Amino acid sequence: MRHVTYRILVIGFILFLSSCSSETENQSSENMTTEPSAYAAQAANVTIYRDAWGVPHIHGKSDADTAFGMGYAQAEDNFAQLELGFIMGTGRMAEIIGEEALISDWVVHSFENNELSIRDYEMASPPVKALLDGYAAGINYYMETHPELETRLLDHIEPWYSLALIRRWYHLGGFLGRLRFTTEERTAAFEAINGDVVEMAQLEIPKYDPEDRKEFGSNSWAANGPKITGQGSYLFINPHLPAFGIGQTYEAHMFSDEGWNMTGYARFGYPVPYIGFNENLGWMSTDNFSNQEDSWIEHFDDPENPLTYRYGDDTREATEWTGEIKIKDGGVRTVKFRKTHHGAVVAMRDGKFLSGMMARYDEPGWLDQWYNMGKASNIEEFTTAIEPQAMQFGNIMYADRDGNIWYIYNGAVPIRTEGYDYNNALDGSNPETDWQGYHTLTQLPQVKNPVSNMMQNTNTTPFGVSMSESDAKVENYPTYMVREGDNARSRNARRILHKYDQFDFATWERESLDTTMMIWQELKLKFTVAYAETSAANPERAEKLAPVMAMLEAWDGVATLESPEPTILADWGDIWRGNNDFSSEETMAALEQVVDRLEADWGTWQVAWGDMNRSQRPPLDEQGNPIFSDDAPSIATPGVPSWSGGSQISFNNRREGLKRRYKTGGNSYTAVVHFDGNARTKSKSIHVFGASADPNSPHNMDQAEMLANKQYKPAWLYPDDVRANAARSYHPGEK
């Protein structure tokens, strides 16, 4: 098992770090601190250009200087989220929330997130270490030059915090979440390992509405050859991510005298954009559901030796260690952690402990790969950048100036023995369920330059990307590798891509913000049949719904701000929730429920989508969750629910006490790019809200109105364009 072998190579270093408590971080802080004079000296090497929308275009003499500017700019635009992300990433939420965050922090420390991140920082290559140093220094310089800034916990940012945040978000949030360990199961494991009872109800952190979580996804398209006008290729970048909290996006452009020129989006706490483009190439990542994680039922059957667990015909010894978790108003709590050779033991189900592990969790390189992808200038260099498979999450949709388009079902997929159910917890005592290395890049489903000259992926199967004979064939891959099917967004993308024999860039741009609720074409027959049955059985009941059905049957499925049909379908979908067994009676009963609720809330069932569906950037609670209000200003938005299809998406579930829907995610950073083989790359982008989280900033919601109007802004890429279109420029630290 490759991941176990790697752990053995570094076990001495990890055990040393694990034996240290919070003193480790304090000593690390003292050793890594940069003198204020050094901050100012590096700041002089950096210029931040803010365009008309407040987007930072950051120039540095070196790549590390540019990272310094990135840290400073992110702190300017949303320091509160930046700090909160680092607090969560390092497992310190209990220090600001209280005992409700105990289990969340315990899981982070059970997987030794901080120890691994410190190790990776210390062992990083000089260029990557310089990026991390520069980025942390930029944030610290912002804190130093803004003494009025109120922090919640952190008075100094360490370079390794970014690595901890990346692991926390992707591995301990995404992959671990796919193992479906409930909060109750995590709490049970904590209590059993510690011999203690947790009396306070525990929070899932970050906290997401379960229905919002279902909406997480993205769209990506690429086209080349005769499918487009001009040379090169077209790319559509369309992530659907949370608009608040750790998952929100931050648009930034970084260019240096060392030749780095990359624009796209990062998250608060990341030193570089990880999705986007340069002059020669770009990529989008849509989350896939590849099997990159497993859990094992561990058999601790010996009461005389509680750390002994069965493995094959023998036994093994689990590792157990002690650490501390600080709790707000509760002092310091001494806790125990446990791991087997499979991974950390963080859940208990039916009286049995469960361990979990995620692909390459304990290996470094995620940030290295992002950096190298952004610096690549052609498909060969890009291939070299992604071959380590250190970036785990998501399909890659690639396009370049030379006219190449390439889709990869990306991720390090463990090699497994066929015949076991890897979607559920495995028998940890059976050695055959252990991982046996990882599949290489060439062993993953992919398609390059298909005969159709077009590709799309919307978190769907890799076996229908190009809609042509060029697609990968399902029979060529192990059964455990791919778990995705189809969805309405994919069907809508196929409709759009087949609609035109050839795209010009204006058409590509327009269609990229389409709001067709494709699902209606599939649901229309269900409604028609259900209504016919109701009419025959109960004419009086049918008469009440007659005007609603007449309107729906005449609808083309396109959501506009003025149309009431999307309001009805979205409310109905909240009840339906994709239930394919929904009967005719349930279909009509749900429609009646929708009509009654709209009339109760609005006095009419004909509520325009723009009146119902809103974009608002309200105050946040202590965990960073939005506090929406029907009485506060908001903007009408045409974006449609992810389950319904479309390109412009809004996560907008109904919430108790509110009559409107408010966007909590969806289109976050959206871009269209033409990599022209004979001319400058043409690019446009738009953000869900705006560059600044400050409600008093003109850039708080300026882009939200453009998105609602299906408009893009220029995404300046070339230095001369940046300087010519800068609304202001300054060095970090200047007022």
pLDDT along the chain (735 residues), means of 10: 38 40 40 62 97 98 98 98 97 95 97 98 97 98 96 97 96 90 96 94 76 72 98 97 92 97 97 97 95 97 95 97 95 97 98 97 96 98 97 94 98 96 97 97 98 97 98 97 95 98 98 97 95 94 95 97 98 91 95 97 97 96 90 96 94 92 95 95 98 97 96 98 98 92
214: left (phi over 0), alpha (psi -120 to 50) or beta: alpha
In this prediction the pTM is 0.93
pLDDT at 36: 56
Cα–Cα distance, 18 to 11 (Å, whole number)? 10
Share of the chain above pLDDT 90, in %: 88
pLDDT at 12: 43
Please tell me what DSSP assigns to residue 269. Answer: T
Cα–Cα distance, 672 to 674 (Å, whole number)? 7
pLDDT at 678: 85
* Closest-CA residue to 240 (of 566, 669, 703): 669
pLDDT at 22: 41
Cα–Cα distance, 243 to 250 (Å, whole number)? 10
Express the helix, strand and coil content of the chain in percent, nearest 5 each.
40, 20, 40
Q: What is the DSSP string of 466-482?
A: SSSTTS--GGGS-TTT-
Give the largest CA-CA distance in the chain.
83
User: Who's near 537: CB < 8 A, 6+ residues apart?
Assistant: none
- Using DSSP's 3-state secondary structure scheme, residue 208 falls into coil
Please tell me what DSSP assigns to residue 35. Answer: P
Q: Is 283 in contact with 396 (CB distance < 8 Å)?
A: yes
- Kindly report each contact of residues 430-435 with a partner whose C-beta sits within 8 Å and lies 24 or more positions away, as own/partner: 430/312, 431/311, 431/312, 433/294, 433/296, 434/1, 434/4, 434/342, 435/1, 435/2, 435/3, 435/4, 435/294, 435/357
Q: For 153-260, where are the E strands, in sequence order?
A: 217-224, 233-242, 249-256
* Closest-CA residue to 649 (of 700, 606, 688): 688
Q: What is the pLDDT of residues 172-189, one digit of tens each?
A: 988 998 999 999 999 999
pLDDT at 735: 78
Q: Is 156 in contact with 140 (CB distance < 8 Å)?
A: yes
Q: What is the pLDDT of residues 313-343, one digit of tens each?
A: 999 999 999 999 999 988 999 999 999 999 9
Number of helices (H) and strands (E) in the chain: give both, helices first. 23, 29
The structure tokens 């994919």 sit at 490
pLDDT at 32: 42
Q: What is the pLDDT of residues 192-227, one digit of tens each?
A: 999 999 988 998 887 765 555 555 789 999 999 999
Cα–Cα distance, 216 to 474 (Å, whole number)? 25
pLDDT at 542: 94
- Using DSSP's 3-state secondary structure scheme, residue 587 falls into helix
